[in-house]
Amino acid sequence: MNNQTKIILLWLMFVMCMVLHYDYYVSDNFCGFGNEANTIGIESLPLVLLKTALHLLPMGFALVIMFKPVALVYRIHFGVAIVYTAFNLLHLFSELAQEPFNACQVELLVLATAITGILCVVSWAASKKR
């Protein structure tokens, strides 16, 4: 499988991890933007924007790499994958610090971190081949 296909699949797998993460209702209190005062299910604007960016950007990255597989795009993917990996690690550590921690979330965060870590390696390798 070529690097372009690997990157596309890795981004999509990462999106699936985030969708499952959202389904487990952890993202409602992500980065301090919670819904504590809201009892009718309407989310705050900062939370909506954050979720939208974090969930839609990887799908956009997959589209870009499908149609513009050049070295600069691979380097951008590498940089963005580093940011996502760092966020995943921070989130994993914060989840592990909770008593008791949610095993389902820890498993998802470990998988998401591994996927974005692999994405870093593949993106870097692809950028060097071009």
The predicted pLDDT at position 46 comes to: 84
Domain boundaries, the chain: 3-129
3-state secondary structure of 78: helix
The predicted pLDDT at position 3 comes to: 85
Distances (CA, A) of 113 to 10, 18, 42, 120: 11, 11, 30, 11
What tens digit of pLDDT does each residue of 48-107 get?
Answer: 788 777 778 888 888 888 888 888 988 998 999 999 999 999 999 998 998 887 788 888
pLDDT class of 19 with cuts at 50, 70, 90: confident
The predicted pLDDT at position 118 comes to: 94
pLDDT class of 39 with cuts at 50, 70, 90: very low
Cβ proximity of 85 and 116 under 8 Å: yes
Six-digit token string for 28: 């409602």
Cβ proximity of 21 and 92 under 8 Å: no
Is the four-CA dihedral 108, 52, 28, 46 of positive or negative sign? positive
Mean of pLDDT values over 100-117: 88
Q: How many CB atoms lie within 10 A of CB 81?
A: 26
For 7, the enclosing helix (H) or strand (E) is: helix 3-23
Please identify which residue in the block is written with the tokens 């919670």. Answer: 34
The predicted pLDDT at position 37 comes to: 46
What tens digit of pLDDT does each residue of 55-71 get?
Answer: 788 888 888 888 888 88
Render 29-68 in DSSP notation, one character per residue.
GGGG---TT-SSSPPPHHHHHHHHHHHHHHHHHHHHHHH-
Q: What is the largest distance, in Å, between two alpha-carbon atoms of the chain? A: 52
The predicted pLDDT at position 25 comes to: 54
